[in-house]
Amino acid sequence: MPASKKKTLDYEASFLRLEEIARLLEQGNLPLEQAMLLFNESTALAARLNKTLTEAEQLLTVTALDQPPEEEVSSNA
């Protein structure tokens, strides 16, 4: 499997897990110790997701800067 495909799956799986944790914590019926463990897991997931998004944004910016500017189409053709 290509690395970019695996990264996408990791990102998607991490995002789904973060949503699951949010739902569990919002219910408010977890023991404090379990809630703290889930909270810690969620902050680590959020940091990883943010890092992935930042790297993707930087890659897109570099790619966009490497592209030659589009030539304007002349209406006097």
Q: pLDDT (tens digit, 9 = 90+) per residue, 12-69?
A: 999 999 999 999 999 999 999 999 999 999 999 999 999 999 999 999 888 877 777 6
C-beta separation of 22 from 12 below 8 A: no
Phi, psi (deg, nearest 5) at residue 2: -60, 150
Q: For residue 60, tell me if it sits in a domain.
A: no
Q: For residue 30, tell me if it sits in a domain.
A: yes
Distance CA(65)–CA(8), nearest Å, equals 24
Q: For residue 26, tell me if it sits in a domain.
A: yes
- Domain tally, the chain: 1
Its domain, for residue 26, covers 3-49
Residue 60 CA, chain-centre distance (Å), reads: 14
Distance CA(74)–CA(77), nearest Å, equals 6
Q: Write the single-letter amino acid at 49.
A: L
Q: What is the pTM of this model?
A: 0.70
- Position 54 scores a pLDDT of 95
